[in-house]
Amino acid sequence: MASSIRECVWRKEEGMKKKRVWFKRRYAALHDLGISTEDLQSRTLYQDAWKRLKKNKVAMVSLGAIIIIAIIAIFAPLIAPYSPYETDPFNNLQPPSAEHWCGTDNLGRDILSRIIYGARVSLLVGIVCELIAVPIGIIMGSIAGYYGGIADMVISRIIEVLGSFPFIIFAICVMFILGTGIMNVFIALGVIGWLGHARQIRAAVIQLKSQDFVEAAKASGASDFSIIFRHLLPNCLSTVIVIATIDIPSDIMFEATLSFMGLGIQPPQPSWGSMINEARAFLRQVPTYSIFPGIAIMILVLAFNTLGDGLRDALDPKLKNL
Amino acid sequence: MAKYIVSRIGQTVIVIILVTLLTFVLINIAPGDPAQVMLAKRADEATIARVRAELGLDQPYHVQYLRFLNGLLHGDFGNSYFQKEPVLRIVVRAMKITLRLGALALLLSVGIGLLNGTLAAVFRGKWVDRFLMFLAMIGVSAPVFWLAVILQLFLGLHFKLLPISGQEAPGWMIMPVICLGVSHGASSARLVRTNMIEALNQDYVRTARSKGLSEVVVVGKHVLKNAGISIVTLVGMQLRSMISGAMVVETVFGLRGLGSVSYNAVTARDIPLIQGCVLYTAIVYVIINLVIDLIYGVLDPRVRLA
C-alpha cells in the first residue's frame, strides 16, 4: 500500500511539473500578445472570497466597526473616562452631560465607562462560545455524516433532544444547577451552540462524501481520520466560517438576555443586558440610562450580522443577490 | 405517507422519553437536598428523613425515575413545594398566557414578514427594498427585551397610551404582542424576501407576465402561492423561537406566563415546579415540531420520501 501511495505522490508531482511548463508556455504566448499575466495568476478560493468581500462596502464597514469595538474593549482601562465601579452618590441618575456623555446610573457610576467595559463581556461571550461550539459541532457533525448508521442515529437523537428545550428553559436549568456567572453562561451557550453547527456540517459531509475525490482518497488507502480532516472538512470550511460568524451575534444576544433576566453576568460587573435591567427601575427619571446599552448591543449585533451576510455572499457567490 | 407519519411519530415518542430522562437527571444532579430545601432550616434530622421517605427520595434512582414516569403518564407532575398546588395546574395556567401571547405575536409577525418581504422582493434593489431591509436588519439586531423597555418608555410613560405592566388593565396584551411580533417580523421579512426573489425568477412568472397579467396578479396569485411552503417554514421557525421570546417579554411586562413562573421556580429552588416547566415546555415544543414536519410531508413529497 505504501508504495502505491508513493507512486500517487510521484505522479501528482510529475503532473504538476508538466502543468507548470504548460502554464509558462501559455503565459509567454500571452505576453507576446500583450496580455498581462497578472490577471491569470491562480488564486485560492479564500483569496477570491476576500476580493469579493472587499468590494462589499457594507460588510467592510461592519468589519471596521467590529475591529474598533474590539480595540475599545481591549484597551478599556485607557479609553474609559471613569472607572466602571467608582460610585458617586452625589451625582447619581444624571442625564447626559459634558462630563458624563451618557449620564450616570443610580449609584453615580459613569454609564459610558460601564458600556465600554461591557463590550469586553459581549465580545468574550461571542468568541468563547464559538470556540466551544465549533469544535464540538465539527466532530459530532462529521462523525454523524461520514459514518451514518448507528452513529448518525445516536448523534441526531442527541441533537433533537437537546434542541427540544426552548433555549431560555435550558439556560434556566443550567443556571439552576451550576449557578450564575460568566463561566456558566459559556457552558450553557456552548452546550446548545454546537447543535446547529453539527446539523449543518453533517449535511455538508453527507453531500461531499459521495464525490469522486473522497472515493479516490479511500481507494488510495487513506484512513477515515485523514479523509475527514484532510478531504471533507477543508471543503466545508467556508460553511463553518459562515455559521460561526452568524452565530456570534446570537450568542451575544443570548448573553444579554440571560444577564437581563438576572441569570447571567452578576452585578457589579458591567454587562449590557444587566445594565438595561438595572435601568428599568429608573425609566421615569433617566430614560437615557436604558437606551444607551441597548444601542451598544444593537450596533455590535448589527455589525456581526451584516459581516456574516457579506461573508456568505463572498464564500458562496451562488447565493448572492438573493 | 402512512409510513412517514408512523416513523415520525415513533421518533417523537423516543425523543419525549429521552427528554423525561434528561429532565430527571438534570434535577437530580442539582445541588441541595429537596427535602431540606422544602423544610428550610427549621427541621431536625428525623423530620427530614420522614419527608424524604414521603417524597420517595430514599429509593434508588431507577425506582424514582419509574415512579416519575408513572406519575407523568397519569398526568401527575407532583406538587409545588411552596405553592401547595399541583404543578400541572400552575404550568398549564402559565402556558395558556405564553401561548396566547405567542400566537398573537405570530400572526403579527407573519403579517409584517409577508407584507414587507413581498414589497422588498418586488422592488428589489430599489430604495423601497433598501429601506425595508435596513429596518429589518435593525429589528433583527435589537434585543427583544430592549424593544420592550423602549415601548414601555414611549407608549407607556411618555404618551400614556397603554398599561406598562401587569395583566389587569385593559389592553395589557397589546404592548407585549407588538414587541414580540415586530421583533420576529423583522427576521420573517428577510426570509420571505429571499424566497420571493427565488420564486419571481421562475419560468411560470415570465409566462404569466408575457400573458399580459398585471404585476399585482402575477405576484399575488402566482408567486405568493408558490412561496407557500416557505410560509410554513416561516411559521414553524417562528413558533420555535416565539416560545423563548415570549418568556423573556413576559418578565419585562410582568405577565404570569411560563417565563416568570419558571424563573421564580428557579430562584425559589422549587424542584417539582422546575421539572414541570421544563418537561411541559419540551413536550409542547416537540409536538409543535412534529406537526410542522407532518405538514411539510403533506405539502412537499420530497420530504417524506427522503
Residues A62-75 have a mean pLDDT of 94
Q: How many CB pairs under 8 A join A and B?
A: 126
Closest CA to A40 of A28, A56, A57, A54: A28
Check A168 against B269: CB less than 8 A apart: no
* Mean pLDDT score, A198-205: 90
User: What was the pLDDT predicted at A322?
Assistant: 39
Residue of A nearest to B133 (CA): A306
pLDDT in tens, A238-249: 888 888 888 899
Whether pLDDT at B169 is above 80: no
- pLDDT number for residue A10: 66
User: What letter represents residue B42's amino acid?
Assistant: R
Q: What is the pLDDT of residue B237?
A: 77
Mean pLDDT of chain B: 83
Q: What is the mean pLDDT of residues B276-300?
A: 82
- Contact yes or no for A276 and B18 at CB 8 A: no
Chain B residues with CB-CB distance to A66 below 8 A: none
Q: Where are the beta strands (DSSP E) in B128-271?
A: none
Residues from chain A that touch B157, judged by Cβ atoms under 8 A, are 283-284, 287
CB contact under 8 A, B145 and A173: no
The pLDDT confidence band at residue A6, using thresholds 50, 70 and 90, is low
Write out pLDDT tens, residues A213-259. Answer: 888 888 888 888 888 888 888 888 888 888 888 889 999 999 999 89
Q: How far is B46 from chain A (nearest CA, A)?
A: 27
What DSSP assignment string belongs to B24-54?
Answer: HHHHHHSSS-HHHHHHTTS--HHHHHHHHHH
User: Whole-angstrom Cα distance, residue A226 to residue A232?
Assistant: 9
Does position A321 have pLDDT exceeding 60, yes or no? no
Residue of B nearest to A304 (CA): B141
B144 contacts in A (CB within 8 Å)? 257
- Closest Cα of chain A to B283: distance in Å? 8
Q: Do B22 and A161 touch (CB under 8 A)?
A: yes
Residue A293 has pLDDT above 90, yes or no: yes
Could you tell me if the ipTM is greater than 0.85? no
**pLDDT digits over B27-37, tens only?**
777 766 666 66
Q: What is the pLDDT of residues B87-146, one digit of tens each?
A: 888 988 998 888 889 889 999 998 999 899 889 988 888 899 999 988 998 888 999 999
CB contact under 8 A, A279 and B143: no
B259 CB neighbours in chain A (<8 A) are 168
- Taking a C-beta distance cutoff of 8 angstroms, is the pair A104, A113 a contact? no
Which residue among B19, B274, B285 places its CB closest to the CB of A166? B285
pTM of the model: 0.83
Give CA separation, A248 vs A129, A275, B2, B190, in Å. 8, 21, 41, 19
pLDDT exceeds 90 at position A128: yes
**What architecture is domain A45-319?**
Orthogonal Bundle (1.10)
Domain residue ranges in chain A: 2-39, 45-319
